[in-house]
Amino acid sequence: MMHLQRLLFFGIVTSVLLSCSSVTKAQTQPAQAFVTWDKKMIELGTVKKGEKREMFFDFTNTSGEDIQIEIVDACECTTTDFPRGVLKPGAKGRIDAIFDSTEKTAPETIDIRVIFKNTDAAGVPKIEVVQYKFDLG
């Protein structure tokens, strides 16, 4: 009887440990990237006050699902254009941006937030951030 209890106890402990191990592995494995960017940061270097600079950020849909951009948000100094349609898995897209330094008085790093119609499991929209920075000369 004691031998049977030990076997049962050992079986329970083993199954709990294996279950914890599989949860830990799932939590530590990196999630598949939603989109992959060719570059997430652009350094414009020195920009003269009043100068405009054009740039772009290329990306690939690596999510395994159709994606669509809802809106691209940046400061008033940045004008953006982006793909309006659905991007299939593996499709490429491009965010175009124009920086106008007219109102700037100091060097800065600017965030461009790309907000997708796609959501996570909690229903929160997926957001990617790309950036550019400049020095004022």
- Give pLDDT tens digits for 53-76: 999 999 999 999 999 999 999 999
> pLDDT digits over 13-28, tens only?
444 444 444 444 444 4
Contacts of 83 (CB under 8 A, 6+ apart): 69, 93, 94
What is the pLDDT at residue 9? Answer: 42
Strands 52-61 and 69-73: unpaired
What is the pLDDT at residue 33? Answer: 83
* % of the chain beyond a pLDDT of 70: 77
Residue 43 has pLDDT above 90, yes or no: yes
